[in-house]
Amino acid sequence: MDLLPLILPWTIHLWTRFHVTDAPVSQLFYWDINMRTPVIGGNWKMHKDHAGTTSFFESFRPLVECSRHREIVICPSFLDLDRAVTATRGTRIQVGAQNLFWEKEGAFTGEVSGPMIKAAGCSHVIVGHSERRRYFGETNESVLKKTVAALGAGLIPIVCVGEHKKGNAEAVLMEQFRDGIRPLANGQFARIVIAYEPVWAIGAGETAAPETAADAHRFIRAQARDSFGTEAANSVRILYGGSVKPGNAKSLMAQPEIDGFLVGEASLDPISFASIVNL
């Protein structure tokens, strides 16, 4: 018996009843049968030494061993990538780097390439984090070059975008998307993850209201739709990053446009981070 004629009307009814959107019903049904798997990423920034990394994973692993509804990615410092990869072997926890250079090798003192990161056992890399843009002069153009390099090395880039000041999100996001993401080929875009981080919220203890964050995500997805088409836009995961904590993560994840988090400070504590993963 073909159940599609019975299921489809109820699917359409539920979506139109509980999700306010101007997208065609056909797009709603497509998204419903191609649910995006949330990604919960931890960006440790310049924290933890060898002992701290080992201790974290000893505590964290048993707390998330039953979490199969999320992808978990932890990004320690370069010095602890190998230790993190060893500590997570045989688990569903993935490891990523916090940065990379766009060349494969050469006379680039202090830099680390995508192939080196891949060879260390990593699956992901953060690209264009706001702190890289602010303190190290990264531009939309360099973010694009790093994204392409990451993809070429077989890594999944978590490409960060976001405004520095409240009130100008759309203008900034449009520019960052236009110059840093839109030049990607369709196949390249299909392999990235985007992280929206309102810079005014990072480390300030101030979080964008769930509805405000969802509006920004919706705007980014609209940019993706205009550039890469409906299917690609519906498939790309867009994470929220900006003072995410156990106390606000649930209300943020209740927004259908938010596909996970890039967590900073709260990812340093295994209990705190596990509570976000296990939502």
Q: Where are the domains of the chain?
A: 22-103+110-277
Long-range CB pairs of 106-115, under 8 A, 24+ apart, other chains included = 112/78, 113/149, 113/153, 114/149, 114/150, 114/152, 114/153, 114/154, 114/155, 115/153
CATH class of the domain comprising 22-103+110-277: alpha beta
pTM of the model: 0.87
| Catalytic member of 71, 197, 257, 265 | 197
pLDDT of the chain, 279 residues: tens digit per residue: 444 444 444 443 444 334 444 444 434 444 443 489 999 999 999 999 999 999 999 999 999 999 999 999 999 999 999 999 999 999 999 999 999 999 999 999 999 999 999 999 999 999 999 999 999 999 999 999 999 999 999 999 999 999 998 889 999 999 999 999 999 999 999 999 999 999 887 766 677 899 999 999 999 999 999 999 999 999 999 999 989 999 999 999 999 999 999 999 999 999 999 999 999
Would you state the pLDDT for residue 204?
61
Catalytic (active site) residue 138: no
Unique residue bearing structure tokens 């690609």: 232
CA distances 246 to 37, 91, 193, 208, 261, Å, are 20, 23, 22, 15, 11
Would you state the pLDDT for residue 167?
84
3-state class of 156 per DSSP? strand
* Alpha carbons 279 and 271: distance in angstroms, whole number: 13
Q: How many CA atoms lie within 13 A of 215 on its CB side?
A: 10
Long-range CB pairs of 47-51, under 8 A, 24+ apart, other chains included = 47/77, 47/268, 48/76, 48/77, 48/80, 48/268, 49/79, 49/80, 50/79, 50/80, 50/83
Pull the structure tokens for residue 87: 């500590």
| Catalytic member of 129, 131, 138, 163 | 129
Catalytic (active site) residue 129: yes
